[in-house]
Structure 1
């Protein structure tokens, strides 16, 4: 079984190499926008083969991209249009079912690519050399650049790990290039016997994650110190965007990504603690896909209602889940998705389920049937753990995992 991780390598470029990489990045972005305009003008085309046949020569002539990059551009644009078409179709289904009234507008105009991130294919656009050097293709030919990175990732590259595509990413505030390389690592095939423990993980805003085991152990990972910082960054960015002056724009560039990096780092810390605390475990996570469409939200345009709706989208729970998933595989554990329906409203003792079990939607859970009282988030984690246990028992009995393992690379 393979697990995909991403190695972030810092490129130590000379001024000439920096200029060559930056020029290549911008040309690649311009070619993406050209192909996107072509696809939109021809029926919002998502077929990568047809896009390549129609635009390949123009990409080579106008933007002077090497042949492999000229092939990567239509594939990337085609994949973007396929994703947008999927969202349009899902939105149509949700509107028909009455889950939402909003029409998805992602294909009302041609998607514009703003980020200059460039995709490289291994052994075609870039290769690794000895002494921590990498050969990278630019518009002016190949350049050999020394790199540094996380010791474990560098060791995997040097030991001959299976290397995939990479992305050339530019950190604009620091004026620094990074190469984000996909590495496939072999991990042991999971079996019910290798997972000696079952863990349920409930995510939320007051507590970013609450874990519970079948032995009664529990852990609370609070967001008390982190969430206010993220909210402050969001408010500061909003004020600067509203001001719109040149100095405000410079400040926005300086702090760009601060909120995202804070959340990403916090998710890394929380996921690592969970995985290290529960080795060789089957970790149950809530299936939160389309949760915004499936949950009732306040309707209206006043400030209080907008703030309540904004709270639903405050933290990147999908990112936290993905980090738990790939780190679990590296520590001989595995994460699976379980049904998230009524996990904090169902009594783990008698099974009674109703909204009144959580008075005022607070942190206290009081079963209206048996009067069982507990922290609401812990109740959710225990219900997830029990649903994970049922899946594990079924796995042992049938030899087949009844749900799909959530094995997502970083």
Structure 2
């Protein structure tokens, strides 16, 4: 029995490390070697919640248990609409999330896999050329060359165009009102502005991100060539923050505000999509999709890395418990099992891209008035199944609020700032 894992993102590497622990033979095929994963532009800015960190501890690869790599509070500002005052609350995230640049994180995981005797083969590899070596291929690489194996599933992919255009960079020169906190501003019709502490190759810094509704007032900055016109780009960023998040703008030191280095910026657009979970190759070998090869969610709910980790562990257990064959029946059943969890993440992430329904808007209002509700709401990002159970219906919100109100007395000064 032998498994080939194509891709060296969080899904592929956690799967490989878990299979190692379970004594299942596995080979990782990575476009880059360990040093190559440390270079290049930032591609994403993942937040790994408590359950993902626990899985990393079980793998022996969690190495960032310090304050500069943590988010401990969320400062949420929701702008209801024209002429209405914004809702604001500060909430404790328990346990804290871990915010580590993947150019640090992924080489660490790949090094652990290799140091433990794992086989790594670098370069570009088409899955069709690897089948002779393995009983099953698991594709965790979302590149165009492998996406053709896994066409979009229209029943699970309600969007055919990007719902947000992204512009996110790593900056110096932003201070925090509350240490180790994330700021998020929900702007109806415009999108979202986020600031979060981030442990980057330059050390502790801050990510400032615009998630722009296409055609809205935040979108233009997402298309500015920061390398060709750094001063113009910087000016547009500061002007937008001043207009839409003035409290955040007050914490920007104009003299120190700059990207941490050339190219420390990610711009682009993502169309949320769920692809078919498996494919049968010409020689009869099957390929199973996970990670970016299977599901692409908008990053607004910060679930991508966490879904990838959960999927990797679940699949590793299925592989270890199955003696073979890894045929179409296995792949179909495995993909269905993985979807039992993933669908909650997908449905929640897709719903968050639309204006909040009344019951969700009401929940934010309750959070602004009661710290117990605020803390529980933010901490539920660690449990997407429970979160979607809460947000998907008025009954879910009512039950959640009732649980919060009976759990403990409201703390003094319950309202957030």
Normalised by the length of structure 1, the TM-score is 0.27
Query: Which is greater in Rg?
Result: 1
More helix by share: 1
What TM-score results when the alignment is normalised by the length of structure 2?
0.27
